[in-house]
Structures are given as structure tokens and as C-alpha cells.
Amino acid sequence: MRTRAFLSALLLFALQFSARPAGAQSPSSVVKLDVVSDAPDLLAPWQTEGIALSGGSGVIIAENRILTNAHVVESAVSIEVKRADGSMRFPARVSFISHDADLALLEVEDRRFFDGARAAPLGKMPRLQQNVVVYGFPIGGDTLSITSGIVSRIEIDTYTQSYRDLLSVQIDAAINPGNSGGPVMTKSAIVGIAMQGIERADNVGYMIPAPVIAHFLEDVKDGRYDGFPRLGATLQDMESFAQRRGARMASSQTGALVLRVDHGGPAHGVLRPRDVILAMDGHEVANDLTVRWPGIGRVGYEIVYQSKQVGETMTLTVLRNGKRLEKRIQLTPHAPLVPGRRLTEKPRYVQFGGLVFQPLSEQLIDDADAGYSDAVSYAEVNNLVTRERREIVLLGQVLPHPVNRGYQDWGGETVRLVNGVVPRDLAHLAAIIDRAEGPWFRIVTGDGFVVTLDLAAARKAGAEILRDYGIEDDRYLGPMATDGKKRRRR
């Protein structure tokens, strides 16, 4: 009888063990996050949207740090963490955040949180069809969820958090709310962090792969986050035979056509429009804008410079007027004319005469829910950093007041001229307003319409508009903006 009972118990244990997904690990490194956030309101940038509660997942890595998604903890005013194998909650705080890669590192001051926990090591890039295990705390329960799947696609894809195109991995395991930030593992190592899913698609999820995670961790070693490099140039495919002949390419050559180059970007002064990039750091660029990358295969050309840190250099093989050239560029920090994500946690704005000006971003366009169609079309045509323009300034809305009567239903227009001057950026616009003289304040929008205010009346109405709309100050230009003088309200 004892032997039969022992064999039954052994069989039950074997069945339970075999039911676990391949590669499932001890939950001591998996973390549940409870977050209280107060996000800024981009459409009313002087205020916030109010308190919101959300949950997410994370994983303990080396040096007593917790790795999770940026979108799980952005705008957090309170973060509490609990280990999957524990019962106590501990306060945590964000130490580094990358909106680009949708990653964040958290710190927990109370060392008891890490007692007995085994930090999960970072693995390598997974292969297509490789089995992976997803850990996290999705909606539908409070305990740890463990699911399995396979790697089904590897490509450069858009990250919802930042609108950046970075290396991404698709897996056939669902990524539901709450899963975000949890580790995707194979055997005993992290190969990705769960990131986002697709609405109305079953068992399709995306993870941030190990090379992107490694880039982020290497970046912050010096105590500062610099981000992922940009080339600062717009490229076009060369799949047209006539296009290649017109560029004087040999039949054996492939490459990417340079359409335009951002002023002040890494490629400025090195590349020219109509150049053809044949190779990047020795990786031949195909006519479809892909390169062959070790361990992955064919993938978008962006991987070549995105695998480097800001400040490093890259060699370009260029065809210019039929002549082959070797060019070297330094991947200096560079922001596009229309960035994907805000550059500061608090949105920048300037309010004058009830006119609310903001820098245009993909995030603002998205939050406006297609209400900025004029701005979108203007940005697509003019999305190039020039000496005269470093960002697009938007007339986001008009706060109704007698001084701006006639324009009170305006909003979403780009600003082309302010008193005859092209505003380089929002700070420059603020300076133009402060220095304005004469009877009128006049702006010209991107589509040529004109707004004219009585300058003296607009300045006189400043304090009243701030009071009526509960606005503390007439502007916020960012944490580093200062003119050395005490800011006066208008």
C-alpha cells in the first residue's frame, strides 16, 4: 500500500511538473507593480488628468534593480512592488526611464525586499520558432500567470510608447493589461520584456528583445540616459530599376537613396540629398532598406546605428554622382522636428492673449484624436530640421476672451510666422512675444490664415485670462529654461 501511495504521489508530481511551460523558472525574481499616476493633460498643459490606478509586472535583475516598462510607471506618484513569492508590498521609485525603448529601472530602498530573491540574468536574442515563457500579472487574477509561446517574427517595428521604430519581437502569446513589464524567458535567462499587444488579435504579443534591453542598461551605467541614436536623414528604397540607373549604380550595387538631411543632425555636413548609402559599418544596405544582421537575418537598416550608443561613430559607404566614398559620422544627440514622445515630464506651453502654443509631437497628435489634421499634413511635408526651425510650434487652442474674439474656435494650426519671424522653437516664440512692439500681434498659420490681436489689449488681459482659467503661469518652457529673471505673470 505504501508503495502504491508513493507511486501515485510521484506520478502526480510528474504530471504537475510536465504541465509547466518549458523553461519556467522560480517566481522569486518576478514582481507585481501597483502604480498610482497623475499624467499631464497635453490638451490643457498647465494641469494634469487626475489620479489613476494601474498594475503591471517587472523582474529583478542584477544589482538589486527592477526592470519594467516605461509606460507602466510614467507619471507615477506612487509605486508599490510585491514579489510573486512574497506577501509584503514595498515602496519603489524610478531611477531611469527610456520612453524610446519603453523600459524603466526601479529602486527599492528596503533591502528586505530582495532577501532570497534570485536576480534573473539577461540572455541573448531569441531565434525564430524558439520556445519562450511569459511571466506576469495580467487582469483576471492576483497570482502569477505563466504562459508559453514561440517567437514568430523579428523586425524593426513601432513602439506604441514612443512612436520610435526599434527592434521588436512578436510572440504567439497574448500580452494583456498587467502583463506589461514582465519577463519573457527561455531556460534561465531574460530574452525580452512584455510590451504591447494588438487589439482584436488572439495570442499576438510583442516584447522588447534582449539587445534593446542590453543597450538601455549599458547606456545608464554612467548615471545618465542618452537614448538611441538617430541618423538624422530620410531614406527611400531603391527597388526601382530606373531609380538605380538614374543614380549611376552598377548592376551589382544596392542601397538607400538620401532624400533630405536634418540641420544639426549626425548626418548633417556628411550626407547630401541624392546620395546613395551602399553600406553602414560594412553591412550592405539592400534596395528594400534592410541589412543582414548576425543572429537575426534580414532586418531594417536602422539596427546598425541603433545598436550603438550616442556619441559613437559609424562608417558609411556612399555613392555620390557615381563615385564611391567612405564617410564617417558621429552619432550625436538629435531630436526630430516632430518627436514621438514629450522631452520633459511636464508639457511645455506658452499662453498669450488666450492663444495656447505648444510644440507639435506625435503624442500630442494622438491625444488630440485626429483633431489636428492641418498640423499632421504640414508636419508630413515639412518634417525636416532646418537652421530656421528646430520644432514645429502649434496653436493648440484658444481660450475664449473678448481680446481674441473671432478666433475662439481655432485650434490645431501650425504657426509659420510670428510678427513676420519664423519661430525656431517654443522658447524663441516666447522671446518674440516678450520683445513685440507696435499696435499688433500677428501670426500666420501653416495654411496661410492670419490671426491678429491688439498687442496692448492682449498684454493687459493676461492676468484676467490666467485667473479665469485657473492657470498658474503664462508659460512653461522646460526644466532648464531660464532667462535669469523672475518670471512675471501675464
Give the other-Cβ count within 10 Å of 239's Cβ. Answer: 12
The answer for residues whose C-beta is within 8 angstroms of residue 10's C-beta and 6 or more apart is none
Looking at the structure, tell me whether residues 307 and 386 fall in a common domain: no
* Cell triple for 141: 487574477
Give the other-Cβ count within 10 Å of 169's Cβ. Answer: 28
pLDDT class of 482 with cuts at 50, 70, 90: very low
Nearest-CA neighbor of 134 among 171, 85, 166? Answer: 171
Are residues 122 and 217 in contact, defined by beta-carbon separation less than 8 angstroms?
A: yes
Please check the confidence at residue 132 and state whether its pLDDT lies above 90.
yes
Domain boundary among 285, 303, 330: 330
Please check the confidence at residue 21 and state whether its pLDDT lies above 70.
no
CATH number at residue 318: 2.30.42.10
Rounded alpha-carbon distances, angstroms, from residue 22 to 133, 186, 192, 446? 7, 8, 16, 57
Number of domains in the chain: 4
Q: What pLDDT score was predicted for residue 384?
A: 86
DSSP notation for 214-269: HHHHHHGGGS---------EEEE----HHHHHHTT--TT---EEEEEE-TTSTTTT
pLDDT class of 20 with cuts at 50, 70, 90: very low
335, part of any domain: no
β-bridge partners, 57: 32
pLDDT class of 196 with cuts at 50, 70, 90: confident
Q: What pLDDT score was predicted for residue 200?
A: 57
The Cα–Cα gap between 413 and 447 comes to 8
pLDDT, tens digit (0-9, with 9 covering 90-100), for 410-425: 998 999 999 999 999 9
Give the other-Cβ count within 10 Å of 77's Cβ. Answer: 12
Q: What pLDDT score was predicted for residue 256?
A: 98
The Cα–Cα gap between 441 and 454 comes to 6
Q: Is the dihedral of CA 140, 144, 150, 151 positive or negative?
A: positive
pTM for the full predicted model: 0.89
Rg (CA), the chain: 26
Looking at the structure, tell me whether residues 186 and 214 fall in a common domain: yes
SS3 percent helix, strand, coil of the chain, rounded to 5, is 20, 35, 45
The Cα–Cα gap between 52 and 54 comes to 7
119, part of any domain: no
Q: What pLDDT score was predicted for residue 177?
A: 83
Nearest-CA neighbor of 403 among 460, 440, 458, 464? Answer: 458
Q: What pLDDT score was predicted for residue 342?
A: 66
**Which one of the listed residues 29, 37, 100, 102 is annotated catalytic?**
102
Please check the confidence at residue 487 and state whether its pLDDT lies above 50.
no
Q: In the predicted model, what is the mean pLDDT of the chain?
A: 89
The Cα–Cα gap between 420 and 395 comes to 16
pLDDT class of 238 with cuts at 50, 70, 90: very high
Q: What pLDDT score was predicted for residue 28?
A: 87
Looking at the structure, tell me whether residues 303 and 376 fall in a common domain: no
Please check the confidence at residue 9 and state whether its pLDDT lies above 70.
no
367, part of any domain: yes
The Cα–Cα gap between 301 and 166 comes to 10
Looking at the structure, tell me whether residues 269 and 297 fall in a common domain: yes
Q: What is the mean pLDDT of residues 246-256?
A: 97
To the query of whether residue 71 is one of the catalytic residues in this protein, the response is yes
Q: What pLDDT score was predicted for residue 481?
A: 59
**Which one of the listed residues 28, 37, 71, 168 is annotated catalytic?**
71
Are residues 42 and 59 in contact, defined by beta-carbon separation less than 8 angstroms?
A: no
Looking at the structure, tell me whether residues 239 and 286 fall in a common domain: yes
Q: What pLDDT score was predicted for residue 202?
A: 64
Residue 54, domain extent: 27-114
CATH number at residue 412: 3.20.190.20
Q: What pLDDT score was predicted for residue 198?
A: 66
To the query of whether residue 237 is one of the catalytic residues in this protein, the response is no
pLDDT, tens digit (0-9, with 9 covering 90-100), for 260-311: 999 999 999 999 999 999 999 999 999 999 999 999 999 999 999 999 999 9
CATH number at residue 63: 2.40.10.10
Please check the confidence at residue 231 and state whether its pLDDT lies above 80.
yes
149, part of any domain: yes
Helices (DSSP H) in 301-391: which residue ranges?
A: 302-306, 362-367, 373-382
Looking at the structure, tell me whether residues 380 and 444 fall in a common domain: yes
β-bridge partners, 349: 476
Looking at the structure, tell me whether residues 213 and 278 fall in a common domain: no
Looking at the structure, tell me whether residues 37 and 104 fall in a common domain: yes
HSE-up of residue 45 (Cα within 13 Å, Cβ side): 29
Going along 285-412, which residue ranges are E strands? 290-293, 297-300, 313-320, 323-330, 349-352, 355-359, 393-398
**Which one of the listed residues 29, 180, 307, 361 is annotated catalytic?**
180
pLDDT, tens digit (0-9, with 9 covering 90-100), for 86-119: 989 999 999 999 999 999 999 999 999 999 999 9
pLDDT, tens digit (0-9, with 9 covering 90-100), for 137-169: 998 788 999 999 999 999 999 999 999 999 999
Domain boundary among 222, 255, 274: 222
Q: What is the mean pLDDT of residues 55-61?
A: 96
18, part of any domain: no
The answer for residues whose C-beta is within 8 angstroms of residue 304's C-beta and 6 or more apart is 280, 281, 283, 291, 293, 314
Please check the confidence at residue 22 and state whether its pLDDT lies above 60.
no
Looking at the structure, tell me whether residues 160 and 262 fall in a common domain: no
pLDDT, tens digit (0-9, with 9 covering 90-100), for 303-358: 999 999 999 999 999 999 999 999 999 999 999 998 887 666 789 999 999 999 99
Question: Long-range CB contacts (< 8 A, 24+ apart) of 142-149?
Answer: 143/84, 144/27, 144/30, 144/32, 144/84, 145/179, 146/20, 146/21, 146/24, 147/21, 147/173, 147/174, 148/21, 148/22, 148/23, 148/24, 148/173, 149/173, 149/203, 149/205
Please check the confidence at residue 13 and state whether its pLDDT lies above 50.
no
Least confident of 1-15, 57-71, 204-218, 390-404: 1-15
Q: What is the mean pLDDT of residues 368-393?
A: 79
90, part of any domain: yes
Q: What pLDDT score was predicted for residue 26?
A: 56
To the query of whether residue 428 is one of the catalytic residues in this protein, the response is no
Domain boundary among 114, 141, 175: 114
pLDDT, tens digit (0-9, with 9 covering 90-100), for 447-457: 899 999 999 99
Distance of CA 275 to the CA centre of its chain: 29
Looking at the structure, tell me whether residues 206 and 90 fall in a common domain: no
Please check the confidence at residue 480 and state whether its pLDDT lies above 70.
no
195, part of any domain: yes
* Cell triple for 200: 482584436
The continuous run of DSSP H or E covering 442 comes out as: strand 440-445
340, part of any domain: no
Collapsed DSSP state (helix, strand, coil) of residue 489: coil
445, with CB counted inside 10 A (0-12, 13-18, 19+), is buried
Looking at the structure, tell me whether residues 319 and 365 fall in a common domain: no
β-bridge partners, 155: 168
* Cell triple for 180: 506589461
Looking at the structure, tell me whether residues 211 and 240 fall in a common domain: no
pLDDT, tens digit (0-9, with 9 covering 90-100), for 63-81: 999 999 999 999 999 999 9
